[in-house]
Amino acid sequence: MVFCDENSSVIEWSSEEVIVPYVSPIDGKFHRYFVDFYVKVKSTDEKTKVYLIEVKPKSQTKQPEPPKTKKTSKSKIAEMRNWIINNAKWSAARSLCEDKGWEFKILTEENLFSGSGEGL
């Protein structure tokens, strides 16, 4: 957030104000996904660009390994469930961004703590 406040290229930003409807593959029902950030920036060619940004630990951006035994732990089930739901959310966000000419990005600790602001 400090990055957005102090970066002169950022025209406007908000946190958890953009709502993306999605259907959960788990229950087949519509849900609302509150994307972490909306950021509107001025590019070097003076055009504006809008990003929807989700911040996640890198470990949650990769598909979990399948269970190695027939008995699956509760934590492994929760990990797989979260992966399935997150993919549905991210797919809906990408679709919304495509329709609006925006870009959807998932940032991890690698982007946030590199010091470069890389990712936007």
The pLDDT of residue 71 is: 76
Q: How many CA atoms lie within 13 A of 66 on its CB side?
A: 2
Task: Tell me the C-alpha to C-alpha distance, in Å, between residue 79 and each of 75, 87, 95, 107.
Answer: 6, 12, 24, 19
Q: Please identify every stretch of the chain with a pLDDT value under 50, giving residue numbers as ranges.
A: none
**Which domains, and CATH codes, for the chain?**
2-60+70-112 (3.40.1350.10)
